[in-house]
Amino acid sequence: MKSKTSITLSEDILLNVKRVARKGESRSETIERLLSERLGEEAARRAREREVAQINRHAEALNAEAADVLAFQGDL
């Protein structure tokens, strides 16, 4: 479902919206596509940050485990 809203944008933003619009795409469609893409990028960035934080919380234990495994390996 779509909701109608009103926003105020500067002329330079509107010119850029016009510049990046795909053939046959309305200004509203362009703005919606650009927002959707940017919001998706932001969600992916936040997910990566959570993953890195989780890895960092367990890094010491993971590194100790890896060192332990490597200690069991013999010379090749």
pLDDT in tens, 18-54: 999 999 999 999 999 999 999 999 999 999 999 999 9
pTM: 0.70
Q: What is the pLDDT of residue 42?
A: 98
Q: What is the pLDDT of residue 58?
A: 93
Q: What is the pLDDT of residue 73?
A: 80
- Radius of gyration from C-alpha coordinates of the chain: 24
Alpha-carbon gap, residue 65 to 68, rounded angstroms? 5
Alpha-carbon gap, residue 40 to 19, rounded angstroms? 21
Task: Give percent above pLDDT 70 in the chain.
Answer: 96
- Residue 65, H or E segment: helix 27-72
Q: What is the pLDDT of residue 76?
A: 60
